[in-house]
Amino acid sequence: MIKLGTKVIAAMSGGVDSSVTAALMVEAGYDVIAITMRLGTHDTIEIESDKPNCCSLEGVEDARRVATQLDIPFYAVNYEEPFRESIVNYFSDEYVAGRTPSPCVICNQDLKFGKLLELAAQLEVDYVATGHYARIEQDPETGRYLLRKGIDLHKDQSYFLFSLTQAQLSRALMPLGGYEKNEVRAVARKYKMRTAEKPESQELCFIADDNYKRFLKDRIPDKIQEGDIVDQEGQTLGTHQGIPFYTVGQRRGLGISAETPLYVTELKVRDNTIIVGKNEDLLADTMQVERVNLITIDKLTEPIRAEVKIRYKDAGAPATISPLTDTEVEVKFDQPRRAVTPGQAAVFYDEDTVIGGGWIK
């Protein structure tokens, strides 16, 4: 039962998911305020595209029109500088450091459930609701807030939310976690929303053409230098175009020929060298994970079993997770995993519940 006058910020990007989220909050009886984050243009180019993104003026206008339809107040808030610092700079810095970034995790952590929750506190608003396909529940025994997969497993976004704290989860609402995507579009059609048939937004909303190599070359040309590509024995096989252009597991675009396919197995930033090897050289059964955030428990004091995802589209694999420090763990897989990539998120699951996660070291 919703307490009369309970206020919620509906984070609206101008897409169908956030539009329906706002509608469901109104239907449920919340006092809803629609907020769109103006994140600015951080690219050096602008192109016409059929793919919408949450940074565009079109997205702001679509969000405003939906808010008008729902008869709720609408505001656009300028978060251009926080977005630059938290997301865009992080994105570039991680590639320079030889790691593969996951900007959606940082955006959820710092902006959607960071800056928007700060705004909610200033406005004396109780919750922030987003269009994520995930579910939040409170454990009746422990009182802890739990993060679970959305029921539409093709759309599930719990992987990108592993770093949310108990304080953030306690004030977050994700009503789409109980919906299939086609059901969400059906709700939008019921309301005759202009966003009902809007296609999915591109993953990297701040890169106009989805070409991250071009984006990095424009932003950090002084940090992109050619270097050697060497094999496992240290023999030089060719020249790379700059470490930020490569990631562990990459095969295409190496510009070298060999009798068997070769893949990037390591990026040595200090030496500006890329090491390549055969497919079996990509296999690892152990990894260290740092900056761990736990959700179902407060602290890991002994080894536990979990399904561990090492990238968003990964199906997950059984492993034993052992504590090293309060914020670092060792993950030992039952079977070797391919292309364990530094910088990516490792997320630990107990069936459909997120135990926690961290960053592959």
pLDDT in tens, 327-352: 999 999 999 999 999 999 999 999 99
pTM score, two decimals? 0.93
pLDDT of residue 297: 97
Q: How confident is the model at residue 205 (pLDDT cuts 50, 70, 90)?
A: confident
Residue range 225-277 in CATH 2.30.30.280 = yes
154 neighbors 168 (Cβ within 8 angstroms): no
User: Does pLDDT of 204 surpass 90?
Assistant: no
Residue type, 182: N
Alpha-carbon distance of 248 to 239, in angstroms, equals 16
Same fold flag, 7-190 and 283-360: no
User: Does pLDDT of 33 surpass 70?
Assistant: yes
User: Does pLDDT of 49 surpass 60?
Assistant: no
Q: How confident is the model at residue 27 (pLDDT cuts 50, 70, 90)?
A: very high
pLDDT of residue 201: 77
Fold of 283-360: Elongation Factor Tu (Ef-tu); domain 3 (2.40.30)
Q: Which residue has the tokens 């107040």?
A: 73
Q: Per-residue pLDDT averaged across 182-193, rounded? A: 97
Report the phi/psi class of residue 333: left, alpha or beta, with left for phi > 0 and alpha for psi in -120 to 50: beta
Tens of pLDDT, residue by residue over 66-109, are 999 999 999 999 999 999 999 999 999 999 999 999 999 999 99
Alpha-carbon distance of 310 to 342, in angstroms, equals 10
Alpha-carbon distance of 341 to 175, in angstroms, equals 32
Alpha-carbon distance of 287 to 310, in angstroms, equals 10
- Give CATH for domain 7-190: 3.40.50.620
User: Does pLDDT of 2 surpass 80?
Assistant: no
Q: How confident is the model at residue 4 (pLDDT cuts 50, 70, 90)?
A: low
**CA distances (Å), origin 59, targets 14, 55, 72, 325:** 4, 7, 17, 43
User: Does pLDDT of 146 surpass 90?
Assistant: yes
pLDDT of residue 59: 85
Q: Per-residue pLDDT averaged across 224-250, rounded? A: 96
Report domain extents, the chain. Answer: 7-190, 225-277, 283-360
Q: Per-residue pLDDT averaged across 250-277, rounded? A: 94
Q: How confident is the model at residue 230 (pLDDT cuts 50, 70, 90)?
A: very high
Mean pLDDT, the chain, rounded, equals: 94
Q: Which residue has the tokens 């702001």?
A: 60
pLDDT exceeding 90 applies to what percent of the chain?
A: 88
Q: Per-residue pLDDT averaged across 138-155, rounded? A: 97
Alpha-carbon distance of 255 to 252, in angstroms, equals 8
User: Does pLDDT of 55 surpass 70?
Assistant: no
pLDDT of residue 46: 66
Strand partners, 358: 346
Q: For 294, how many CA atoms within 13 A lie in the half-sphere containing its CB? A: 15
User: Does pLDDT of 130 surpass 90?
Assistant: yes
Q: How confident is the model at residue 202 (pLDDT cuts 50, 70, 90)?
A: low
Residues 6+ apart with CB under 8 A from 275: 229, 230, 231, 232, 264, 265, 266, 267, 268
User: Does pLDDT of 63 surpass 60?
Assistant: yes
Q: Per-residue pLDDT averaged across 312-334, rounded? A: 97
Tens of pLDDT, residue by residue over 114-123, are 999 999 999 9
Query: Looking at 54, 55, 104, 107, which residue is catalytic?
Result: 107
Q: How confident is the model at residue 141 (pLDDT cuts 50, 70, 90)?
A: very high
Q: How confident is the model at residue 42 (pLDDT cuts 50, 70, 90)?
A: confident
pLDDT of residue 54: 53
pLDDT of residue 1: 52
User: Does pLDDT of 50 surpass 70?
Assistant: no
Residue type, 50: D
Q: Per-residue pLDDT averaged across 25-38, rounded? A: 96
Is 55 an annotated catalytic residue?
A: no
User: Does pLDDT of 200 surpass 90?
Assistant: no
